[in-house]
Amino acid sequence: MYRLKHNISSTLGLIILYIHITDTRSSVINDLALGFTRLPFNKSYYINHKPYNLPLEERYSFINGVHKLWVFSTDEPLSRCSPTLPRSELFINVSVGYIYFTGVWQFEAHVFVPNGTTGVSLMQVFGGYPHVTNTTLMVRVYDGNLYYYKYEVISSDMYDKWFRLNVIRDVEGDTVNVYINGVLKFEGQGRGGAMHYFKCGVYAQDQDSYYMESRWKHINIYKKSK
Ligand SMILES: *[C@@H]1O[C@H](CO)[C@@H](O)[C@H](O)[C@H]1NC(C)=O
Ligand SMILES: *[C@@H]1O[C@H](CO)[C@@H](O)[C@H](O)[C@H]1NC(C)=O
Ligand SMILES: *[C@@H]1O[C@H](CO)[C@@H](O)[C@H](O)[C@H]1NC(C)=O
Ligand SMILES: *[C@@H]1O[C@H](CO)[C@@H](O)[C@H](O)[C@H]1NC(C)=O
């Protein structure tokens, strides 16, 4: 009897221990905010980039917490003389202190890309030298797959579903990591450039579709606590 009780209680103990371990482990993997401080992010913290000749509401809406950004391949660039392709993007307001030269910074958002949108950059870590795009990272969409530029698939089959995107840029460590739904999917290196900030939306690249759209909600900017 003693032995049976002992066995049952140690088995229960092991089960509880096991649950505890797996629980801790999964929360560590999923909690990308651990060790980071979330910074304020509202309308004062971003500026829209859009075709220079159009009113904002023709290429952007913000309804029920969802930023919808869209552009056509025949649109004008963000300024009259810019050689760049059309875009509708949220760009960090340079006046609010989220442009960084040091530290570990994180961008987080829930993203939706409708079927058909292709040949487009969804998200950028701006700053990279010497590179034509001046970026450390572009998360692009080609035919429903997320890409690191056009070099490497980050995640496949991403049309018509909300997913969580986290990008962590470690300036001193010179890394840039991309997580999809909390899972590390891409580990990259820096690409030079001293100054960085985040951008998101749609920015035409190559073989872009006539219509490009992405939707964003729960956008958060984090900085690693010292
Ligand atoms: C944006 O956030 C800042 C900092 O928390 C706050 O002072 C400001 O009132 C907010 N603005 C809006 C429009 O919510
Ligand atoms: C950018 O930030 C500055 C400083 O907080 C603020 O005065 C300005 O209105 C902001 N710009 C936009 C377009 O929100
Ligand atoms: C996207 O649309 C095309 C054309 O209508 C269709 O063939 C394809 O199955 C769709 N893909 C997804 C993931 O819904
Ligand atoms: C990259 O930076 C250079 C130098 O500042 C600038 O002339 C060029 O227009 C930038 N290109 C893009 C795509 O932003």
CATH of the domain at 118: 2.60.120.200
Residues framing ligand 4 (Cβ under 6 A): 84, 133-134
- Reply yes or no: is the peptide bond before residue 130 cis, omega within 30 of 0: yes
Protein residue whose Cα sits closest to atom 10 of ligand 4: 134
What pLDDT does 78 receive?
96
Q: What is the pLDDT of residues 31-64, one digit of tens each?
A: 899 999 999 999 999 999 999 999 999 999 999 9
**What pTM did the predictor assign?**
0.86
Instruction: Enumerate residues 6+ apart whose C-beta is below 8 A from 115.
Output: 144, 159, 160
Q: What is the pLDDT of residues 94-141, one digit of tens each?
A: 788 899 999 999 999 999 999 999 999 999 999 999 888 999 999 999
Residue 26 has pLDDT above 90, yes or no: no
Specify whether 17 is located in the same domain as 97.
no
Protein residue whose Cα sits closest to atom 5 of ligand 4: 134
- What is the number of domains present in the chain? 2
Residue 16 has pLDDT above 60, yes or no: no
Separation CA 81–CA 97 (nearest Å): 27
Nearest to 140 by CA among 131, 127, 132, 149: 149
Full domain range(s) for residue 18 = 1-31
Residue 44 Cα, ligand 1 centroid: separation in angstroms?
7
Residue 5 has pLDDT above 70, yes or no: no
Separation CA 3–CA 165 (nearest Å): 52
Specify whether 26 is located in the same domain as 42.
no
Residue of 115, 158, 159 with the most ligand 3 atoms within 8 Å of its CB, for mutation: 115
Look up residue 69 and give its two tokens: 């950004």
Average pLDDT rounded to a whole number, residues 176-181: 98
Look up residue 20 and give its two tokens: 């505890």
Residue of 37, 38, 41, 42 with the most ligand 1 atoms within 8 Å of its CB, for mutation: 42
Specify whether 19 is located in the same domain as 115.
no
Task: For residue 10, name the pLDDT band (cuts at 50, 70, 90).
Answer: low
